[in-house]
Amino acid sequence: MKLAAVLALAALAAAAPLASGPSSRVAWTVETVRLVRGGDAAKGKKLHEDCSGCHGPAGDVDTPDIPNLAGQNALYIYKQLQDYKSASRSSPIMGEAVAALSDRDMADLAAFYTAQRPSRSPGAPRRSDPAAVKIASVGDGTRLIPACDACHGDRGAGNQNFYGMPSLQNQKFDDLSVQLLTFRSGERANDVYRGMRDVAKSLTDGEIAGLAAYYSGTRAKPIVRPEEPGKTEKK
């Protein structure tokens, strides 16, 4: 092989991991877990004053596509804030909101949110759509979809044994469906080892609506695709 070709290949190989980018810069080292678990909720409350315009006085708000934060897993919140800052999870709004936050600020904010009482009734999601309940609790072996609850905990209530695992309860239909749609399209790609992208890739629109309804404890409605705002698809 000619030297130029070898160099070009080497350059490609070196560029490849950068081009695709790491899904997240957060690794659950002992130090990171200790930092987050030692977060100061009182300091977080003060920092939250800059966020409350969108996220409400205690982390929850009625706006359909703004996620609820009250009671959410602290490691998950910390990771999302880091991912927005490093642009591993892209959101112009949140990227700007976190730009000046330090690691400790993020740990303090996470401690504040996780200590807040969720605004929505906890648990007991409706068991209306049997297909969604089946995927949530058993999965679908024919499509290699594991049960959602195997990772997210019984009825999506969270899983402390799994670092950074979000609770799916206390979330709104629209936010849940948007997150599943963006994992499916790959637009949201901050899930380590593609965990959620692989799960979401074979879900149909109807299943996404059913799962979002199941975990939000509401009735399924047509989902709005984030890439085509305003357009809806029937279940």
Residue 178: which residues within 8 A CB-CB, separation 6 or more?
Answer: 65, 224, 226
Q: By C-alpha distance, which of 98, 85, 108, 93 is closest to 26?
A: 85
The amino acid at 144: L
Identify the burial level of 38 via C-beta atoms within 10 angstroms of its C-beta, where 0-12 means exposed, 13-18 middle and 19 or more buried: exposed
Per rule CB under 6 A, is residue 196 in the interface with ligand HEC?
yes
Stretch that binds ligand HEC, among 4-12, 29-37, 86-94, 122-130 (CB under 6 A): 86-94
22 near ligand HEC (CB under 6 A): no
- Would you say 10 or 54 has its CB closer to ligand HEC? 54
Q: Which of 52, 33, 39, 25 is nearest to 114 (CA)?
A: 39
- Using CB under 6 A as the binding rule, the residues of this chain from 148 to 187 that contact ligand HEC are 148, 150-152, 164-166, 168, 171, 176, 179-180
Q: Is 171 exposed, middle or buried, given 0-12, 13-18 or 19+ CB atoms closer than 10 A?
A: buried
Question: Do residues 221 and 210 lie in contact, with contact meaning Cβ atoms separated by under 8 Å?
Answer: no
Cα 132 from Cα 158, distance rounded (Å):
18
Q: Which is nearer to ligand HEC, 143 or 231 (CB)?
A: 143
- In the list 195, 221, 224, 235, the residue contacting ligand HEC (rule: CB under 6 A) is 195
Min CB(88)–ligand HEC separation in Å: 9
The answer to the question of residue 98 lying near ligand HEC (CB under 6 A) is yes
User: Given the rule CB under 6 A, which residues bind ligand HEC?
Assistant: 50-51, 53-55, 66-67, 69, 77, 79-81, 89, 91, 93-94, 97-98, 109, 135, 145-146, 148, 150-152, 164-166, 168, 171, 176, 179-180, 190-191, 195-196, 199, 211
